[in-house]
Amino acid sequence: MKRETLAALAALGLSLCTGNAAAQQGQRAHGPGHLTFASMDTDHDGTISLAEFKAAHEAELEAHFKRKDTNGDGVLSKEELANWRAHKRRQRRHGDCAAAKSDK
């Protein structure tokens, strides 16, 4: 019973952290790589064209780059990249959902 309770709490925490509610509603979940079908199907025809796919991922890549480019100069320095990697390591180490959501 104790093991089942812990497993249920872990699953709840994971779903809150990963934005499953947004994904179930067809919305964009948090962070890069979390595009949903609905967010990519911009013309709402029930399919995703190559152009829609490229546009969605290009926007994700640009947003990801801008989060790393902390001084906003349009280029990544070694220091910015190192700081980003250290930040992500801290998130993984601490399982910090709040910090993960702040990466939007």
Predicted confidence at residue 101, as pLDDT, reads: 54
The closest of 96, 90, 103, 104 to 17, measured between CA atoms, is: 96
Structure tokens at 38: 């609905």
The closest of 84, 85, 39 to 59, measured between CA atoms, is: 39
Place of tokens 């790393």: 68
What is the residue-level pLDDT of the chain in tens, covering all 104 positions?
555 544 444 443 443 344 444 444 444 445 555 789 999 999 999 999 999 999 999 989 999 999 999 999 999 999 999 999 999 999 999 886 554 555 55
Predicted confidence at residue 95, as pLDDT, reads: 80
* Angstrom distance (rounded) from CA 59 to CA 104: 12
Return the number of other C-beta atoms located less than 10 Å from residue 91's C-beta: 16
The closest of 36, 40, 14, 7 to 100, measured between CA atoms, is: 14
Predicted confidence at residue 23, as pLDDT, reads: 41
